[in-house]
Structure 1
Amino acid sequence: MQLDKVVAQLAHAHKAFGKQKVLEDISIALKKGQIMGLIGPSGSGKTTAIKCWLGMEALDKGEAEIYDQPMPNRKVLSHVGYMGQTLALYENLSAKENLVFFGNLKGLSGQKLNDEIKRYMQLVDLEDKLTQIVHQFSDGMKRRLSLAVTLLGHPDLLILDEPTVGIDPSLRQKIWHELRQLAKQGQTILMTTHVMDEAERCDQVGLLVDGEIFALGSPKDLKQKFNAQSIEEVFLKAEEAKGHEI
């Protein structure tokens, strides 16, 4: 397993909505078996970066590639598991019906599908909710179900936009253990997060401030560079430094 292989990259990406610049010259490379966290304040461009990477939004300038293919590319997307902030669930179906439907789309069926449904519903602590209609779920339960759906079929690349919002700390620990195991098996994970202790768990952290990559590196390297004790302190120092530039 070639863990230094670049599986996805943004190169000199620019994106604006009208006069509002959202991404300015963003370059990020994501390597096989790596967990990368994108952090930054609300409105810093994290979700837009993900959408441009997937081809859901067109870049104004620059390149977005996954597996050496310019995005969007439907064939490439079949190898990507994406969990967005807007959840793609069928509210009038049960949790299991959603899982079966999306599992079938990923080519899963029979015992293999049943085994994965059991595994991931246990992971997100919803194994006793399989027959419940999704519109009866709380927002937090819907996010957990959406994560289970995303993990089905072991996609080579997982792109998760705030996957643990509204999830209690003990369950978050359990999910992180699973993500780390998946990375060890060669799956690649890109996630956005507002939770700074989650950023500490990533192999690489990209800090977006006002649409620019202010810092990119391992948590250890960033803490050393900014003379900080935690990623949260790095974040605060970066915001302060950025404010002095304006």
Structure 2
Amino acid sequence: MSISVSNISKSYDAVKALQDISFEVKSGELFGLIGPDGAGKTSLFRILTTLLLANEGTATVAGFDVVKDYKKIRNSVGYMPGKFSLYQDLTVEENLTFFATTFGTTIQENYDLIQEIYVQIEPFKNRRAGKLSGGMKQKLALCCALIHKPKVLFLDEPTTGVDPVSRKEFWEMLKRLQQKGITILVSTPYMDEAALCDRIALIQDGKILQIDTPQAIVKHYPKQIYNVSATNTYELTNALKAYEYSHSVYPFGEFVHYTDQRSDFNPTELKAYLESKNLSDLVIEKTKVTIEDTFMELAK
């Protein structure tokens, strides 16, 4: 196993950031930690990259203990924190040279690993990092995390605040890095990105809710989900929540996602109820389950 986490817990005074977390990541796997802000993702990343000590539990990364072998881990992993943390007053090239020198290597020595990413920012190599766009900052940070050819790559919410095109390009780059044998642990609050991982762990309030492949998590969702829409979404949501047989109700894009307590649910009956609440232009139709639906169910 490339990463092994066993019964890790972490508290900040009265706040329990992580509660008995256990999971394993295989060598060469692209593993996703999926959850909202405040779920505990960053605390876990800091523990695994030796920047923070857990209160309880043990963990190994690339075969090294996160406490006893912290120096070996720091030479074996690449870490891209959620907040852009490079030197903003240094140029692109100066930042990359600095990190390569820190790890006793050069840009040229490991250029094959970063070439595909670096060629996109090379035209701006003399621009200060603080003046780059969000997507370019992201690519520079990834280059700096890769310059010493790490065995394991930690990416903490790498696409937060980045435009959709750059997000897509970034995940395509991760897939190609995975093909080079690098184990990748990535965290994200975006449920659509979960489907791009080999396996995912859904995390909420410092607890793991479920671990499996994205396909298996969706497949085992226990109920049929319905898209419901009406002229007034706010009143529709309140009416659905007040319905005596409702199991779950939450906004989902232009619709409200609804599940019913009954196995023999009849949409016609629900429509009649909503019409009695003076809601118009009603649409009730079956829809496919997403990872976000599964997360909402598990988090209830």
TM-score normalised by structure 2 residue count: 0.72
Corresponding position: 1:69 with 2:129: no
Aligned to 2:143, what secondary structure does the other structure show?
Answer: helix
- Structure with the greater alpha carbon radius of gyration: 2
What is aligned with 1:190? 185
1:55 counterpart residue number: 50
2:190 matches 1:130? no
Q: How far apart are residue 60 of structure 1 and its match?
A: 0.8
Structure 2: segments with no counterpart, 5+ residues: 223-287
- Pick 1 or 2: higher relative contact order, CA cutoff 8 A, min separation 6: 1
2:16 and 2:78 map into 1 onto residues whose CA distance is: 28
2:274 aligned with 1:230: no
8 Å contact kept, 2:121–2:140: yes
Mapped partners of 1:110, 1:217: distance in 2 = 37
**1:190, 1:85 → 2: CA distance?**
13
Q: Deviations over 1:26-77 (max 9, x none)?
A: 0011110101110112111111111112221111111121133221411122
- 1:98 match: 95
Instruction: Work out whether residues 33 and 188 of structure 1, in 8 Å CA contact, stay in contact via their aligned partners in 2.
Output: yes
Q: Which residue of 2 aligns with 1:29?
A: 24
The percent identity for this pair of structures is 33
Gaps of 5+ in 1: 1-5, 241-246
Matched residues in 2 for 1:64 and 1:53: separation? 7
SS in 1 for 2:104: coil
**Number of aligned pairs?**
233
Residue 244 of structure 1: aligned partner: none
2:36 maps to amino acid = P
Question: Would you say 1:86 and 2:83 are equivalent positions?
Answer: yes
In the superposition, the TM-score normalised over structure 1's length comes to: 0.87
Q: Distance in 1 between matches of 2:116 and 2:177?
A: 13
Aligned to 2:240: none
Aligned counterpart, 2:269: none
2:33 aligned partner? 38
RMSD, aligned CA? 1.9
The 1-side partners of 2:64 and 2:145 are apart by 22
- 1:133 and 1:14 mapped to 2: Cα distance? 39
